[in-house]
Amino acid sequence: MAIEILMPALSPTMEEGTLAIWLVKEGDRVKSGQVMAEIETDKATMEFEAVDEGIIGRILVAAGTAGVKVNAPIAVLLAEGESASAVPAPVKAMQAAQAPVAPTAAPVAAVAAPRTGARVFASPLARRLAAEKGLDLGKVQGSGPHGRIVRADVDGAKPVAVVAATPPAPAKAAVPAGMSAETVMKMYADRSFTEVPLDGMRRTIAARLTEAKQTIPHFYLRRDIRLDALLTFREQLNKGLESRGVKLSVNDFIIKACALALQAVPDANAVWAGDRVLRLKPSDVSVAVAIEGGLFTPVLRDAETKTLSALSLEMKDLAARAKTRKLAPQEYQGGSFSISNLGMMGIDNFDAVINPPQGAILAVGAGVKKPVVMKDGSIGVATVMSVTLSVDHRVIDGALGAQLLKVLVELLENPIAMLA
């Protein structure tokens, strides 16, 4: 029986994507694990693997098609001996009211979902056979790529009572979009302009920043940090690391200091989860990376456990792959805290917008030589860096945010403590 191949969800928040390239054509035989297509999300291009074996009977969505909804049929897979002439074109799409169905193919970088209380990843054929046998797929262990349930898993499972479908999540409230395109274009009808359509990344950035500023009660804490001790210490370390090809940046020290500060003030290592706060144990620190047309925030996981040189090498790798849009979703989603450093671009200070659901973001300005009052009361010159901590007041209160920033300043002004 023909099987619908569905548009996969390449990340928990993906609703649609662009089918960039087909790597198979009608009539091709495919095997489990074979890459069939490349699919673009708002921020990444992912490979799409087959789970079931069969023959590509019909391609329903052409390469280059944008706005393909998750779980929409994109191709038809035939079993041995089946004819493509028997396949209607296009195959009837699933009704939106049905429970979400996992794709027949899986993204290379996807991680299998937990079995309890989470979405079940199974091929359409496995789902149909399970329904006929009265199987609860939530209790079947998948043996396919990334834990997908395939036909062999269903054939070997024993029938049990079918569990009622989980009711769909309530629809998200619409976010006000401001003036319509038509209204704005009328205002500038007598002016010369070029219309620039939004790509997926820019649409996502616009939606998330609008959500952040409208729903997150931001407040801001500011401190000046003297960098002279850090700059001297960095120079010494870089001389010792030169033979290993490692060169530490000031940003590497900032990442490490933020990770350690979150450990020292664990109540601030938290995210907002709708009706509760989640306090994380590891310090998963996101760092904003500017790319053409937008930005990524790759996450350095368990940053508190890593050396400065390890963080430096990992950050360089993530930034390089971010610029070519080769990051997997799990590499830029999550984290509890972000860093946005515009100091390298000459910006003295600024206020950053929190990246939901995270609880805070640190805006880092340039290190600038300024006159300062020294410890003995005399006037001297020091390299001073201005930072602003933007905090979600639902997650972190003012005193807690001030405590976090205090520890961060102490670490950066006494950087040798980061090695203790």
> Residue 24, Cα to own-chain centre: how many angstroms?
28
Q: Which of 203, 281, 326, 393 is catalytic?
A: 393
Is 393 labeled as catalytic in the residue annotation? yes
Q: Confirm if 6 and 73 have CB atoms less than 8 A apart.
A: yes
Take residue 313 and report the two structure tokens written for it: 């090498």
Q: Confirm if 42 and 12 have CB atoms less than 8 A apart.
A: no
> Residue 304, Cα to own-chain centre: how many angstroms?
20
In order of 19, 146, 148, 233, the CA distances from 32 in angstroms are 20, 12, 11, 53
Is the alpha carbon torsion for 377, 379, 381, 382 positive or negative?
positive
Neighbours of 88 (CB within 10 A): 9
Q: Which helix (H) or strand (E) holds 324?
A: none
Distance separating alpha carbons of residues 321 and 99, to the nearest angstrom: 35
Q: If 0-12 CB within 10 Å is exposed, 13-18 middle and 19+ buried, where does residue 369 land?
A: exposed
Decide: helix, strand or coil at residue 48: strand
Q: Confirm if 348 and 340 have CB atoms less than 8 A apart.
A: no
Take residue 171 and report the two structure tokens written for it: 């629809």
Tokens 């929409």 identify what position? 72
Residues annotated as catalytic (active site), given as ranges: 393
